[in-house]
Amino acid sequence: ANDYVTKPFGIQEFLARVRALLRQASAGEAQEAALRFGPLTVDLAYRRVLLDGVEVALTRKEYAVLAQLARHPGRVITQQQLLKDI
């Protein structure tokens, strides 16, 4: 819990706090919007992969596997964990 509102509260205050939390959440997503590994870019926001700036055609499963691996660089992911996550 990042925040709480005590009763009674005004709707404007509530909406302002919700907007602030949404901004914080989207800022975290923006940092992870594109992952780069040399010439390879995994664009998580647009669900696409670029190699040397050229889009690579991948199936949904291929993209899901690559995105999962890209989110955890340098970490070993077991086959069972990969299958569970995608």
Q: Report the alpha-carbon distance of residue 73 to residue 12 in Å, rounded.
A: 42
Based on its alpha-carbon atoms, the radius of gyration of the chain, rounded to whole angstroms, reads 18
What are 10-50's pLDDT values in tens digits? Answer: 888 888 888 887 777 665 555 568 999 999 999 998 899 99
> Where exactly are the structural domains of the chain?
1-31, 34-85
Which residues are CB-contacts of 43 (< 8 A; sequence separation ≥ 6)?
33, 34, 49, 50
Q: Within 13 Å, how many C-alpha atoms sit on residue 71's CB side?
A: 15
What are 48-63's pLDDT values in tens digits? Answer: 999 999 999 999 999 9
**CATH-assigned architecture of domain 34-85:** Orthogonal Bundle (1.10)
